[in-house]
Structure formats: structure tokens, C-alpha cells
Structure 1
């Protein structure tokens, strides 16, 4: 067996385990009533049974059972489409399903941290809007002065710790810059899992997930939900110790030629927020965190 064959063999069980957990989670979320089935007596399953999913999708019960058990079986796009419709998967969840099932059309390119040479100049030209460049794993690779002023804990961290997922889920409340945590945490995890299916076999990704699960029980709970969400513009509210609340609209754009890398721009949504970012830029000495952990 070639090295490529060995690597593929090692990846397959991990993907199949993730696929099994995802299918089971989604099946248990759908009630018989939602798909027009009678509830029936003595149901031990919180949602649909495996045989009910197979029947509704028009596939064999044995085949679907093996798929959900993570066995090494082949699945066509057409059959996965039928399963996705039955489980009422949205676009992000459907793409996630294809990747976990290793459908060839869903295979992504390898990620790279190589950035175009003009990246920093572009970031600086966006001032006074805070902006950064992240990779798919949420490592922060580059930033401008406004971003550094709002997120000093990120830019002052060692390169291996400059990760927005780590900041979100490991900083204590006194220093965590995210004001609307209750809204942001579920979305953070859902978008991260959407990207995770592309790179789940890479050691760095697995180590990050394990670290987040050990550090924050809420991350572990949200991760177990298997929620998937597509990246998109969102309102993000930050609190800075020197100026108070800063409301922004975060917009993410892929960087051509750097697979996995994206430019994230935070546009202040009101005059007060714009003024507060401007003040931090004019007083960089006030941007540093009041204490360290």
C-alpha cells in the first residue's frame, strides 16, 4: 500500500465516526409528526427510527443502518441527496454530510497560510475599520492597528495562541472582548464545525477541538449538538475596558490564491462605535489589557 493509501485508510475511520454521530443526531431531532408518520406505541427513539429514515429516503434499511454505523460503504450523490432531504438538512449541513461521506465532488483543496504580498498594505488601507486575516481554523495571521486596539489579547499572544476560538472560549469574562456571548457562542461553534469537516484529519484541528472541549464545558455541549452554519455577515458587539461597547458588522471575504484564508472587516454600525475606535487609534497606550492572565 502506498503512503497515500495508508493516509486515506487512517482518515476514513475518523470521518465515518463523525458521520455516524452527525446522522444519528439529526435523525433524533425529527419527530414522526413532522414527516407525517404516526407516533406509534412504545417508542424508545426521541426522533425517527433508522428504518423510517430509510423508508422516507427510498434506500435500503440495511444500507442506511450501515451508513449511520460508520461502516465503509460507498454512497452516491443521489442517495445522499435523498437522505439529506429526509433529515431536512440545510445547505451547510448537506455539504458537511458530503464531506464526511467522502463524496469526491466535496473534497476541498489543502489549506495554506501563504498570503499575497500586499495583504498588510490592504489591511492598513482599511483603517479606521478593524480588519484581520484568518485561516479556516480561526488562527489570526495578520491585522491592522484598529484590530490590535480592540483585541490586544489576540495580537499580544504567541503565534500558536492567536486563535479567535481560543479567545472566545478560554478568556475569563473580565477580559473577553465579546459582549453578546450568548448569541455568538452557538454561531461560532456551528461555523467552526462547518469548516472542520474539511480539515478534521489534520492534527492541528483535532488538538484545537480537544483543547476547547477540555477548557470550556459550554463548547463541549455545543460541539455535541452537531449544529452547522454557513459563514456570513453578523452583528458583533465588543466591550473594551477603555471605551466601552463597540458595535460592528463583521464581513468575511475569501482571499483568492490562499485556500482557507479570509479577510474579516468589522464595520462600526453607529457613530459612537466609530468614535470609540478612533479614540483607541489615537491613544494606543490605552488599548493594552489592564492585566494579564
Structure 2
């Protein structure tokens, strides 16, 4: 299973174990995983179609929401088909190139989603702190340019991961105790000094998701300052209500992401199946929940979805 040249050993394939210790329950675990994936596909495609069809929803917040939906679809579709194939057919093998590709798409598009969350926070900041200038600041060209810049940032910042992993020797084992290929899961298989690569991964994670999170916090500090200057309690509650969906999306996405990131590096005493469950929640649950959060909490989207699903016959 291994091919070598003069300086390094590369496996021709990696073997995904799935969830160690729970192999006998893989078939049962695949049922909720598969249902969550189907719901994610349905919810995100419905959201994209609704916003595409309704000109009244082509505002900055909803355009950024479309970008999140597209990136979420890529992230979960990169992982789930192979995961279900592993659970249903015991298809454990993934090629070396396929593993690097899967790892790159998972991490790069996760970072792209993080950037879109930051863009949505900026939209809320402008809408609340500078409401009269919102339409002149966040024009469609500006929104599209921000989306493109954040997309390119995620691709370029994470492109070093597969390049570095390609040059590592994997002479210990080609067995990955996981359901999909992660950066740190592959680094741990290497039989070489990896402190520099680990430091690089940590730096990139901070410069992308960590910095995004700090800037989101800063934007909400400014938003709260503006909100508490309002004289009316009803006005304060109504203004904060416009941020509720965005805050819920951030919590749903960042909490499992940070837990997965930290346990891979520092959580040596956490049971492997717990870490892997959280890692799968990280790529499965946010893509399903994000469009539902906006669909339930946003009256305009909710009305358009109901109209689309249950058209009134004249």
C-alpha cells in the first residue's frame, strides 16, 4: 500500500476507520447523518432558489446568506458521500490525492464561511450604526467584491496545507482514525518532525477563523453601544432582534469548530469517538441549521418559503 522514492514514503491510499470503537453501530449512526445531510441539501437549495427568484430579498444580508449556503453545501458534500459509503458499504479506502483534496475543501470552505459571517457582522454594524449610509456603502458591487475577496482568501490561505502534507513521509501507518481527512489527523501520521507544520496550521487558523471571530466580537461591541443609546426599550429590542439569527449561526458554527480544533491539538484525554462526533457535527449540523434559523426567524424569508412550497391556487 505504500510507494516510495529516495526521500519520502507516500501511501497510495489511506484507510478511514470511521468512529473507533463504534464500528458495529456505523449503520445506525448513518441514519441520522444521512437525514441531516438531506435536510441540509433541501434547506440550502430552497434558500438559494427563494432569494434568486425574489428581487426583494437581494439585499446585502441575504446575498451574504446565499454565499454561506453555497459554501456550506460544498463543505458537507465533500465529507458526507464518502462517510455514508464507509458506513454502508465498508468502503474505507481513499486515495492519497483524494484525501488531500478532501482535506483542502473542508478546511478552505470552512474558512470561507467564517469570512462570510464576518461580512454579515459588518452588514449588521453598518445597518445599525450608520443606517442612512447602509445602501450607499454596501452596494451590490461592494457585496460581490467582498464575497470574492473572502473566497480567494480562504483558498489562498489554506492552499499551503495540502502542499505541506504532500512532502511529509508517512512510514508509520496509513490508517486514519476518523470519518474524513483532517489536517491534524494527517500530521499525526507523519514520521517526521512536525512542530513547524503544526505551528503553521495554528497560525493560519488564528489569522482566518480566530481573527474573524475577534472582529465579529468588536462589531457587536459597537452595535451594543449604539443600541443602548436608543431611548425606547422597544426600539432596542427590535434592533437587537435583527442580529439574533446571525448570532445563532455564529454559535452553531464556531462552538463545534473551536472544540474540534482545540481537542485535536490539546485534548489528549478526550475519547476519540467524542472528538470525531463533534468533528462530524461541525460539517453536518451548521449547513442544516443555518438556513432554518433564517427561515424561522426572518418573516420575509418565511413567507416566501411558504408561498413557494404551498402556492395559493386562484
Work out whether the TM-score is over 0.5. Answer: no
| TM-score, structure 2 as length reference | 0.26
- Which structure has greater strand proportion? 1
The structure with higher relative contact order (CA 8 Å, sep 6+) is 2
